[in-house]
Structure 1
Amino acid sequence: MGLANCPECGKLYVENTSGLCPACYEVEEYEELKIVEFLREQGKASIEEICKATGVREKTILRMMKRGRFKGTFDITYPCESCGANISEGRLCPACSKNITDQVKESNERRQEQDRDGVRIYTKSFFKK
């Protein structure tokens, strides 16, 4: 395990799975409880509504959602990182994810074709007259 700077407070800490120093992780746990309590009362809310009601920053809420902290429990959406469409899990909407997958497949196919085109055997140099 290595050392890292906490993205929230900048303190040096031993890397862990949360990606935060212990103090900031405790704060995030408390903020998560506030969000869950609010969502239990409201049922459905936008990120902006959650921010206003709980005082938790949008950046923190998005990080929690991307890590799956509210998965399947509440109906919250956030924007796809590529096109901005509303999604409820992951970083990309299904359309953007498929688009990227298709581009990677196409790139791999082109590379394989180029590799096949570059493999030729020239026999003139093998045989002397």
Structure 2
Amino acid sequence: MGELRNCPTCNAVFSFNGLREVCSKCNQLEEDMFTTVYHFLRKRENRAATIERIVEVTGVTDKLLHKWVRKRRLQPAQFPGIGYPCDSCGTLINTAKLCKNCQESIKNDLELHESNEAFKEQMANSQKRTYLSSKNRD
């Protein structure tokens, strides 16, 4: 048996089994909305529609569209105007959690951090050296 949760959409209590994130009533509403969106996008003239246009025509929220793209229910390869926001900057993407720019930025920051750590270690090692001088003999 699943754990009891509140539906994030309507706040009703439901048994969460790991498959559905909402109660059965909201799930049915989402499925009906998905059917509406899918029929809209299947028309040749609507295949390149943007998320804003889909929201305007169908009344579905952009968050729900993003959810369907993330779960691969709507394929950006078939419908190039859709995607979901990068977790960092919000740019629309089709794969992963971060856009290429954010991935590069994180990679560069990590490389900079590693080089700074290596420099600190090198400085610490150079300060540990003991220099001995010989006394002048008279």
**TM-score, normalisation: structure 1:** 0.70
Alpha-carbon distance in structure 2 between the residues aligned to 1:94 and 1:69: 23
Select the residue among 83, 93, 118 that pairs with 1:87: 93
Alpha-carbon distance in structure 2 between the residues aligned to 1:26 and 1:96: 36
Which structure has the larger Rg? Answer: 2
Local SS of the residue matching 1:89: coil
Q: Once the 2 structures are TM-superposed, how far is the Cα of residue 93 of structure 1 from its aligned partner? A: 1.2
Partner in structure 2 of residue 58 of structure 1: 62
User: Is contact 1:4–1:12 with CA below 8 Å preserved after alignment?
Assistant: yes
Equivalent residue runs for 1:32-111 within 5 Å = 32-41=34-43, 42-71=46-75, 72-75=77-80, 76-100=82-106
Structure 1 runs of 4+ off > 6 angstroms?
A: 104-108
Provide the aligned C-alpha RMSD in A.
2.6
Q: Once the 2 structures are TM-superposed, how far is the Cα of residue 91 of structure 1 from its aligned partner? A: 3.0
Matched, 1:21 2:11: no
Equivalent residue runs for 1:104-119 within 5 Å = none
Q: Once the 2 structures are TM-superposed, how far is the Cα of residue 31 of structure 1 from its aligned partner? A: 0.7
User: Is contact 1:4–1:14 with CA below 8 Å preserved after alignment?
Assistant: yes
Deviates more, 1:36-45 or 1:64-73: 64-73
User: Is contact 1:78–1:88 with CA below 8 Å preserved after alignment?
Assistant: yes
User: Is contact 1:65–1:89 with CA below 8 Å preserved after alignment?
Assistant: no
Count of residue pairs the alignment pairs up: 113
Q: Once the 2 structures are TM-superposed, how far is the Cα of residue 99 of structure 1 from its aligned partner? A: 4.3
Alignment gaps of 5+ in structure 1: 118-129
Partner in structure 1 of residue 12 of structure 2: 11
Deviates more, 1:71-80 or 1:18-27: 71-80
Q: Once the 2 structures are TM-superposed, how far is the Cα of residue 13 of structure 1 from its aligned partner? A: 0.7
Q: Cα deviations across residues 41-81 of structure 1 (Å, max 9, x unaligned)?
A: 11111111000110111221122222221124321133322
Look up the equivalent residue of 2:102 and give its one-letter code: C
Alpha-carbon distance in structure 1 between the residues aligned to 2:87 and 2:21: 20
Identity of aligned residues (%): 31
Alignment gaps of 5+ in structure 2: 125-138
User: Is contact 2:20–2:27 with CA below 8 Å preserved after alignment?
Assistant: yes
